[in-house]
A and B are shown apart, each in its own frame.
Chain A
């Protein structure tokens, strides 16, 4: 009997034994990252991993302002055609290569020229870059571009070891070497990415973790179960229905922040035959549709109040939000009147949307709301890859999709609504909007830019190529032993100052 008890105790002790928690952090991600090469990658979770792995020229603070990182200060020339950046001294890459102006030149050149690079459009305004001192680089631009510095706060500004990048070429992602607080240890596809503390990090005082493991766990319930059972210290993108239960759980804490992106419906205005409907041709019909939507109710019903209602490409919390155009209340009578003015009593509308439960529910609520104003909506739930190609090809009337957002306002507008915009799927074209957005892009004066965006916003709010519905929030759930984490609007997980209490 004693022996049995002993064995049983030993067995249960073994079963419950977890890996030693000494400053090792385990983070649950929603998906698996794609290739770990900042020039080639495209996933959101990939950027989360880079926040530990690869430092950037500049970073963002809690208000999405740009702050120094590997570049200590920068200035545009008066004509806006040159950007001079001074670099931080004493930084080394994980392989020991020193960080200097030549390294920055090599990195930006790689981003602009590597065949597989996905950063080319972000750096399209850069004509050339040169080292104008051992610790100074100068970007020469083809046209003034105020958004360039903000582009450098993300993957385009991530610095890889030039030695490693040259050696590995397009295979850099198999063993990425950067200069961030943690260096790459191993990756098993769809299972984990492991980083460990980089001893020679320039800002080592702020790094308290020895090891970080990122685990992709797509199922939200399982991700949360792992956090509850202590297998994980932190998870990203907590599902809205779980917020209540996490806030009641004494062992867990939450951090949330309004993201930089938006949720919207794109309307086909000129992309092929399917734009030839009253919805595509008459702005009054689009305005009626927009008026019939109760945006705050959408937020309450679908997101349990965790998202933000919105009507612009910038969230109401953003400094770029046009306060003259507040988020409107629902106005069914007004919508009916506008439709009547356009000579329509009831009309059919088809909306395609991604086939996940949250978006589907959201669109069903919209369907019910606009029905009262006279729109008979057919919903077409579409698998995501298909939705994208239909939207690009113009095979849609209305298409519901999200934009993850960019720190510079240009990234939320220019490419979507200018006549030649790269992802202008509605094929909207208004020379006045083009003029204003180009002006905003060319100026480095925040007030001039704000005025231009406000003016463009007024026009877009009448033409409505895009109906904005609201803004996502990023919700993180953490074990209460994790301290020092702060959620920023870009949804990244910065590990500076994060500690795990014993």
Chain B
């Protein structure tokens, strides 16, 4: 098992290298000059030349890339062009926020998506199934930014129950942290719940028509036992894989949701960085996100091996 994980990690390295090259190249293909974006209104030619030279932006792109790569290998991700803060500090500041949002959103998604998926599958073709599908479809189709603003207007402005936006670290004030995160996590969760529900439903349908379910029924188990013990446990595998992958995507930051609720996570960081042509920050965040995604992929695979005795034997 350990050898398997080590192998996978080793294979991930070239992937990361290619990702970083692509991002670096793409950024420089973008029109717009980071120096101009930085200079703001004080953009006379002398100032521009001075900033350009001080940031090594006057050197050829391959040299800039190698400089950056050299830094990364030695643990230096560079500094933000905009605020002068080290990129690694920025990432350390934002990553916990994004993880918290991702975990809470995933909890919402699982709490809503998996039960409705099971219920829909068990009652296939009945009005319950249609209703569940309708809810799932709406979850997928309602844009996050709209749902977010509606929730803010209803819950914060009209009812005054929760703060409209903002963020507090759970280590400083856990209660307020929860208050500020509930709405964005719910908004993000609804979209994912729909995906989870659809997959749970189809996995359950597949399992429920299997021979061993008929056998279980035949030997007189209660409906509940058949569904949960025999059905759901076998349908769980693809659902877990999917959950891990969805979680990996969440780590890239939820740009719109973070923007609406003003949550200082990865999504906001990278959007602001792109608009300001803050190359080092974009590079750092994308690299970090890619690592997160690859890790979640790996975890998904490891989990499915652990949960499935047949695959364990094949290893």
Contact = CB atoms under 8 A, between A and B. Distances in A.
Interface of A: 12, 14-16, 18, 32, 34-35, 37, 40, 42-43, 115-116, 118, 120-122, 170-171, 173-174, 188-192, 215-219, 221-222, 225-226, 228-231, 383-386, 388-390, 392, 403-404, 415, 422-423
Contacts of A390: 31
Contacts of A216: 262
A492 B269 CA distance: 26
Contacts of A120: 46-47
A224 to B, nearest CB: 9
Interface stretch (B18-26, B81-89, B101-109): B81-89
Interface in B14-66: 30-34, 36-47, 50, 54
A-B interface, 9 closest residue pairs, ranked by CB to CB distance from nearest: A422-B44, A385-B32, A42-B40, A191-B264, A386-B32, A190-B264, A389-B33, A229-B156, A385-B37
Contact of B39 (A42, A191, A218, A404): A42
Contacts of B165: 217, 222, 225-226, 231
Given A174-B85, A190-B272, A42 B41 contact: yes
Most buried by A among B46, B262, B272: B262
A423 B47 CA distance: 11
Given A385-B277, A386-B31, A388-B32, A118 B39 contact: yes
Contacts of B259: 218-219
B134 to A, nearest CB: 28
Given A173-B83, A229-B156, A422 B32 contact: no
B179 interface: yes
Contact of A231 (B93, B163, B276): B163
Contacts, number: 144
Nearest to A389: B33
B242 interface: no
Given A15-B162, A390-B31, 11 more contacts: A42-B41, A189-B93, A190-B264, A218-B262, A222-B262, A225-B164, A230-B160, A385-B33, A385-B37, A388-B37, A392-B36
18 contacts: A15-B179, A34-B82, A42-B39, A120-B47, A171-B84, A190-B269, A216-B262, A218-B259, A222-B164, A231-B163, A385-B33, A385-B34, A385-B277, A386-B30, A388-B37, A388-B43, A422-B46, A423-B44
Contacts of B32: 383, 385-386, 388-389
A32 B272 contact: yes
Interface of B: 30-34, 36-47, 50, 54, 82-85, 90, 93-94, 149, 152-153, 156-157, 160-167, 175, 179, 259-262, 264, 268-269, 272, 275-277
Contacts of B33: 385, 388-389, 392
A408 B259 CA distance: 36
Contacts of B43: 388, 392, 422-423
Contacts of A384: 37, 275
B157 A191 contact: no
A175 to B, nearest CB: 12
A228 B157 contact: yes
B53 to A, nearest CB: 10
Most buried by B among A34, A121, A122, A171: A34
Contacts of B41: 42, 403-404, 423
